[in-house]
Amino acid sequence: MKRLFVTFIAVMAILPYVKAEDLIPVRDSADAPVKLIYDTDMGNDADDALALAIIHNMVKRGQIEFVGLTITKSNINAAKYCKAFNIQYGHPDVPIGLVKDGATPDDGRYVKNVIEMKNEDGSAKFPVPADWEPEDSVVLLRKLLAAAEDNSIVIAQVGFSTNLARLMETPGDDISPLTGMELAEKKVRLVCAMAGAFAFNTNKYENYREYNVIKDIPAATKVFQEWPGEIVVSGFEVGVDILFPGDALNADLRAKDSILRESYRFYRGGLDGKKQSTWDLTCILFPGRPESWRNYFTLSPRGKITVMNDGRFVFSEMADGARRAFICSPEQKSNIREAFINLCTEL
Ligand SMILES: [Ca+2]
C-alpha cells in the first residue's frame, strides 16, 4: 500500500512535465530556461528592440538564459545601442558581437539617435562605457557554441543570415577544433528565424521578397538550404498584422527614460495611435514559451526551403525535412499580441 502511494506521488510529480509538452523541444525540462543567442539587425526596424525587451523580461521570469547577442547590421551604433539596452534592463554582461562589412551600414532611425540622447547635465541618458567595444560576431558565435553543452542552444535569427552563413564556413581554430558546420550540428538545438514569406493560411504574400532575405541573398541561401539542423521560420505573414500599439509604452514602463519607448518614438515618429508589426518578437516568444497549450503557434508540415535568386522562398513538403514554418490563426495572433504587450511594458 505504501509503495503504491509512493508511486502515485511520483507519477503526480512527473505529470505536469508530461502534460506541458513543447511544440518543438527547445530545453531539457519545463522549468529549465532556454539558452538563447539573439542574432539581430538591430536598428533597421523597431521590432528588434521590442524583441530584446521580451528577452530581458523572460530572463527575469526564468524562461530564457541570455547567452549572447550578435548583430548583422554593420553599424557600430547598433552594437552600442544593444549594450545600453542590456545595461538598462539589468543584464550588462551579455556578450555582444558585431558583423564586419555586412549589410545596412547606415545609422537608421533610432540606434544613433537614442544613444546620443542627453540628460540636462550633458551626460548620456543611456550610457555605454567609453572603452567598450563589441567582439567580432563570428568569433563570438564560435566561442559561445564551443562553450555550450551539446544540443543546448537556440538561435533566434531576426535579421540577415550573414553571421550564421559565415559561421558555417569557419574551419576549426584555437577556439574549437570543430568547424562551424560541426558546431552548428552539435551545439544548436533549433534556429528560430524571421525570414521570407509562406502561403499556408494566406497567399497574400506568396511571392513576397522579404527584407531579411534580400539584403543578403547568398547568406540566406546558405543558411536555409544547408544549415545542418532544424529551422523553424516565422514568415512575413505572421508578424505583419500582429500590431504593437505605441500607446502601450506611454504609461506602463517604470523608467522615466525608457530606451524602448524612445526607440519606438524615433522609429515610428511618436507613440500615440502608432502601430508596429511584430515579426521578430515571434522568434523570442516561441522559444521562451514553447508549450503547445499556450496556443500561440501551429507548425507547418516538414519540408525544405529553396531560396530563389530574387530572394523568394519556395517551400516544398518533405516528410524528413528539417524546415517548418509557423502558422497562426486570428485567435492565436490575438493571444500573441496580448503576450507581447505584457512582456514589453515592464522594465
Ligand atoms: Ca529584424
What DSSP assignment string belongs to 64-132? EEEEEEEEEE--HHHHHHHHHHHHHTT-TT--EEEEEEEE--S-TTTHHHHHT-B-TTS-BSS---TT-
Task: State the distance from the centre of ligand 1 to the C-alpha of 180, rounded, in angstroms.
Answer: 23
Angle formed by the axes of helices 279-288 and 47-60, nearest 10° = 20
- Cα 183 to middle of ligand 1, angstroms: 24
Q: Is residue 285 part of a domain?
A: yes
pTM of the model: 0.94
Residue 163 C-alpha to ligand 1 middle, in angstroms? Answer: 13
Confidence check: pLDDT of 331 > 60: yes
**Above 50 in pLDDT, residue 321?**
yes
pLDDT digits (tens, 9 = 90+) for 57-110: 999 999 999 999 999 999 999 999 999 999 999 999 999 999 999 999 999 999
Span from the CA of 4 to the centroid of ligand 1 (angstroms): 54
> Does the residue 80 lie in any domain?
yes
- Tell me the three state secondary structure of residue 344: helix
201 or 254: which carries more pLDDT confidence? 201
The parent domain of residue 315 ranges over 34-344
pLDDT level of residue 338 (50, 70, 90 thresholds):
very high
Per-residue pLDDT, 16:
47
SS3 40: strand
Distance 318 CA to ligand 1 centre (A): 28
CA of 73 to the centre of ligand 1 (A): 9
The strand pairing partners of 191, in sequence order, are: 155, 231
Residue 27 inside a domain? The answer is no
Rounded CA separation 216/193 (Å): 14
Q: pLDDT > 90: what percent of the chain?
A: 89
Q: How far is the CA of 273 from the centre of ligand 1 (A)?
A: 22
Q: Which of 240-254, 301-315, 327-341 has the lowest mean pLDDT?
A: 240-254
What pLDDT score does 133 carry?
98
Establish if 145 belongs to a structural domain.
yes
Distance 237 CA to ligand 1 centre (A): 14
What's the pLDDT band for 171 if we cut at 50, 70, 90?
A: very high
Give the distance (Å) from ligand 1 centre to CA of residue 248.
21
Residue 228 CA to ligand 1 centre (angstroms): 23
Question: Residue 59 is part of a domain; what is its CATH number?
Answer: 3.90.245.10
pLDDT of residue 328: 97
Distance 47 CA to ligand 1 centre (A): 6
Cell of 153: 542552444
Q: Is the pLDDT of residue 243 over 80?
A: yes
Ligand 1: centre distance to CA 280 (Å):
6
Whether residue 337 has pLDDT greater than 60: yes
Q: Which of 43, 118, 35, 36 is nearest to 80 (CA)?
A: 43
Of 56 and 20, the one with more pLDDT: 56
Ligand 1 centroid distance, CA of 159 (Å): 4
Q: How many domains does the chain have?
A: 1
Taking the centre of ligand 1 as the mean of its atom positions, its distance from the CA of residue 216, in whole angstroms, is 13
User: What's the confidence (pLDDT) of residue 269?
Assistant: 97
Between the CA of 49 and the centroid of ligand 1 the distance, in Å, is 9
- Residue 203 pLDDT more than 90? no
pLDDT at position 333: 98
Average pLDDT of the chain, as a whole number? 94
What spacing in Å lies between the alpha carbon of 291 and ligand 1's midpoint? 24
SS3 187: helix
pLDDT tens for 248-294 read 998 767 788 999 999 999 999 999 999 999 999 999 999 999 999 99
What's the chain's length in residues?
A: 347
Evaluate if residue 17 carries a pLDDT over 50: no
Query: Is residue 117 domain-resident?
Result: yes
Q: Separation of 152 CA from ligand 1 center, angstroms?
A: 24
Q: Supply 25's cell numbers.
A: 523541444
Position 18 scores a pLDDT of: 44
What cell numbers appear for 80 in the block? 552600442
CA of 40 to the centre of ligand 1 (A): 6
pLDDT at 154: 98
CA of 160 to the centre of ligand 1 (A): 8
Q: Is residue 20 a part of any domain in this protein?
A: no
Q: Is residue 52 part of a domain?
A: yes
Distance 27 CA to ligand 1 centre (A): 24
